[in-house]
Amino acid sequence: MTRYSRQERFNPIGKVGQQKIRNKHVLLIGIGALGTSLAEGLVRAGIGRLTIMDRDYVEWSNLQRQQLFTENDAIDHTPKVIAAKNALQKMNSDCEIDAYVCDVGPVELEKLSAGMNIDLILDGTDNFETRLVINDFAQKYQIPWIYGACVGSYGISYTIIPRETPCLYCLLEAIPLGGATCDTAGIISPTVQLVTSLQLVESLKLLTENRNAMRETLYTFDLWENSTRELTIQPLKKSDCPCCGDEKTHPFLDDQAMSRSAVLCGRDAVQIRPSHYHQTDLEVVANKLREIGLVVKKNDQLLIMEENRHRIVLFKDGRAIVHGTTDKNEAKSIYHRYLG
């Protein structure tokens, strides 16, 4: 019995479809609740190449719903993509996995796209700024992508096909895509699993080139309220949309439009991005901080320092997460005080 025999016996996939999956490359942005479930599903299905990108590291609160991580990952503050790659390679050593610890913005995606054939983008993020960047990137390079989001017991999913369907920006004025966050409404794990199931089944249809089987509606549900809804949104496609219209400009691929600080959902923390991208020598920074009496912990990807009621996590790409505040100005002040 072969590894993928059960999947190959499913007639719409078969051996031909399985080989197509093996030959495809998926870019997954965000390795949190949605991303870990999506990554595991793809790797177990036999995806040939998977690229994962995420800015964060594993914390204890992640373990309730982010299925690839362990207590040791939380203790060690392991970057999520590193922990995820380690777990995924144990599931399927035949899958090529590229892992990037970074804040995903226009610069990162443009660098990634150079010489790289991407067949599908999956949304595992938790904020609309990043999703709008993904949306523009997908439109520019004509790559299908699957939007997914959840909060509390509510979830939503929609597949965006460049040149064919409305893009995410087309929907913003007509569809309530935002509102409550995990900070205000929490999240239960069954909501995550249903959203990723919706994303994964559409992924399999795309990867096996079964386009006629794909859902053409936007799908929403509320597990607690036992409700589902499908919306026909093709009429919402706008000819004057700046992202996918007749004279598109892809405004969200302008890196200057990206904010340099962001409050992180449910974390009591602010992320600070430097104005210039550079690799940081963590050992040099750690030594300087220790010289002024601060307690510093460090691994290959990040360092952690404590300052009164704040904890500062510095990544190799110069980003920092300042814990203990949701005030961007306070976070920036702390960042510049210790990191320049």
Both 129 and 81 in one domain: the answer is yes
Both 124 and 190 in one domain: the answer is yes
Give the residue numbers spanning the domain of 284. Answer: 260-339
- The verdict on pTM exceeding 0.85 is no
**Domains in the chain, number:** 2
Both 163 and 110 in one domain: the answer is yes
* Residue range 96-127, pLDDT digits in tens: 999 999 888 888 898 887 777 999 999 998 77
Q: Which of 96-110, 171-185, 193-207, 278-292 has the lowest mean pLDDT?
A: 171-185
Both 230 and 281 in one domain: the answer is no
Whole-angstrom distance, CA of residue 280 vs CA of residue 278: 6
Measured over the CA atoms of residue 92, residue 35, residue 331 and residue 280, the dihedral's sign is: positive
Whole-angstrom distance, CA of residue 309 vs CA of residue 297: 16
Which of 210, 236, 255 is the C-terminal boundary of a domain?
255
* Residue range 84-94, pLDDT digits in tens: 999 999 999 99
Q: Report percent pLDDT > 90 for the chain.
A: 60
Which of 255, 289, 318 is the C-terminal boundary of a domain?
255
User: Is-contact 201 42, C-beta < 8 A?
Assistant: no
Whole-angstrom distance, CA of residue 102 vs CA of residue 105: 9
Which of 206, 226, 255 is the C-terminal boundary of a domain?
255
Both 236 and 104 in one domain: the answer is yes
Both 219 and 149 in one domain: the answer is yes
CATH code where residue 210 lies: 3.40.50.720
Both 304 and 236 in one domain: the answer is no
Q: Quick count: other Cβ atoms within 10 Å of Cβ 109?
A: 24
* Residue range 215-229, pLDDT digits in tens: 999 999 999 999 999
- Gap between the terminal Cα atoms of the chain: 59
Q: Which of 83, 17, 76 is nearest to 52 (CA)?
A: 83
Higher pLDDT, 69 or 327: 69
